[in-house]
């Protein structure tokens, strides 16, 4: 895919979204109206537990308990695995349903300062699904199914929210991102990290600094280019063959591949798109920044195909569904 400055291709989205100023809780503040059916794709969560031991019952703030655990199990093996929402609900004794909310399934308030991660009776500790995106393989599986339900599979669009950390560059006095290096007792590295830490909040010297261009993942032309303006969100727009997003290694080929983090030793990665649609507008896929699920609007046949794919966890939902954190009426 390639960047496009012609953001008018996304005007139709804005025309079919609700007015966020008169927000009613409906998903149509971010998901376009007008489709015959809607599907909710649940982003997978993860869970872990120590082999041959149990996580301390005390909250993370109880440093003595956690220090004692690590002292007693210095070489503990931790088993980690991906977990879907239905499996989580069964483990927690709650009910999975199309309008379920993660916090209600696991019994936590996702937006409170919680002291611990939820645990089940078998000792698994659960970690929240990703908001605004999904693992690369899940994203590819979703795009693969979507490509089969458009007359223009080689002509589509992908929009990325500009607010993802380090995506776009900017003119300023501080970098888009700072990478702290981890070392084992290296005095020079410790001094370097301490200097970086101080610079984050160096209010006295900031006023004397000259603004310079701070690089992002995308180059300056794209970073300063036109945006697809939607209610409450600004997106960078790309155009191209949707097959690129359905490829198992799509992260390696998209223009927003995070090569900067790779230079610092991180594995290849790329943010999954916020919004994807084909040129014929047969469907739209929306991964709203604050949602831990992706919503697809399209035909009933598309929704059925998504729900039948074993690689995805999908439920059909009605138009006007509320997906706010407190909208789960079943798990109260």
Quick one: pLDDT at residue 48?
A: 98
CA distance 280 to 299: 13
Quick one: pLDDT at residue 178?
A: 65
Helix (H, G, I), strand (E, B) or coil at 307: helix
pTM: 0.90
Quick one: pLDDT at residue 93?
A: 97
Quick one: pLDDT at residue 203?
A: 60
∠ CA 33-39-45, rounded to 5°? 125
pLDDT in tens, the chain (332 residues): 999 999 999 999 999 999 876 566 799 999 999 999 999 999 999 999 999 999 999 999 999 999 999 999 999 999 999 999 999 999 999 999 999 999 999 998 766 667 889 999 999 999 999 999 999 999 999 999 999 999 999 999 999 999 998 999 977 766 667 666 666 667 777 776 776 666 655 666 666 667 887 889 999 999 999 999 999 899 999 999 999 999 999 999 999 999 999 998 899 999 999 999 999 999 999 999 999 999 999 999 999 999 999 999 999 999 999 999 889 999 98
Tokens encoding 198: 């101080």
Interhelix angle 300-308/136-147, rounded to 10 degrees, is 140
Quick one: pLDDT at residue 180?
A: 60
CA distances from 109 to 77, 117, 134, 325 (A): 29, 11, 21, 8
Tokens encoding 132: 């605004």
CA distance 204 to 198: 11
Identify the CA nearest to 192 among candidates 177, 178, 208, 174. 178
Continuous segment of H or E residues that includes residue 175: none
CA distance 332 to 155: 44
| Per-residue DSSP letter, 119 | B
In sequence order, which residues have a C-beta less than 8 Å from that of residue 209 and are 6 or more positions away?
Answer: 173
- Strands 233-240, 170-172: pairing is unpaired
CA distance 34 to 11: 15
Quick one: pLDDT at residue 196?
A: 66
Quick one: pLDDT at residue 170?
A: 79
Helix (H, G, I), strand (E, B) or coil at 79: strand
What is the radius of gyration, based on Cα positions, of the chain?
22
Tokens encoding 79: 């088993």
The number of beta carbons lying within 10 Å of the beta carbon of residue 49 is: 17
Continuous segment of H or E residues that includes residue 50: strand 45-50
Q: Which residues lie across from 47 on neighbouring strands? A: 81, 126
Identify the CA nearest to 176 among candidates 229, 213, 203. 213
Quick one: pLDDT at residue 194?
A: 73
| Per-residue DSSP letter, 22 | G
């Amino acid at each position: 895919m390639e960047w496009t400055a012609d953001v008018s291709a996304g005007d139709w989205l804005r025309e079919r979204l609700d007015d966020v100023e008169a927000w009613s809780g409906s998903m149509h503040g971010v998901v376009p109206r007008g489709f015959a059916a809607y599907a909710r794709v649940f982003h997978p969560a993860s869970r872990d537990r120590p082999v041959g031991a149990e996580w301390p019952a005390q909250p993370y703030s109880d440093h003595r308990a956690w220090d004692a655990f690590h002292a007693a199990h210095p070489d503990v093996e931790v088993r980690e695995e991906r977990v879907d929402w239905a499996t989580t609900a069964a483990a927690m004794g709650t009910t999975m349903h199309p309008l379920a909310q993660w916090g209600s399934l696991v019994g936590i308030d996702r937006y409170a300062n919680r002291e611990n991660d939820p645990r089940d009776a078998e000792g698994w500790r659960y970690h929240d699904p990703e908001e605004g995106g999904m693992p690369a393989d899940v994203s590819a599986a979703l795009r693969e199914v979507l490509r089969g339900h458009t007359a223009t599979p080689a002509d589509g669009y992908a929009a990325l929210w500009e607010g993802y950390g380090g995506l776009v560059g900017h003119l300023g006095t501080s970098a888009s991102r700072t990478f702290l290096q981890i070392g084992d007792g290296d005095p020079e590295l410790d001094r370097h990290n301490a200097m970086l830490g101080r610079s984050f909040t160096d209010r006295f010297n900031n006023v004397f600094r000259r603004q310079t261009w701070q690089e992002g993942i995308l180059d300056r032309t794209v970073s300063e280019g036109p945006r697809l303006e939607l209610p409450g969100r600004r997106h960078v727009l790309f155009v191209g063959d949707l097959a690129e997003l359905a490829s198992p290694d799509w992260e390696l080929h998209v223009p927003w591949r995070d090569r900067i983090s790779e230079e610092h030793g991180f594995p290849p990665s790329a943010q999954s798109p916020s919004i994807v649609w084909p040129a014929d507008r047969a469907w739209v896929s929306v991964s709203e920044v604050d949602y831990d699920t992706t919503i697809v609007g399209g035909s009933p046949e598309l929704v059925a195909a998504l729900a039948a794919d074993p690689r995805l966890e999908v439920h059909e939902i009605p138009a006007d569904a509320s997906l706010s954190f407190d909208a789960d009426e079943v798990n109260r």
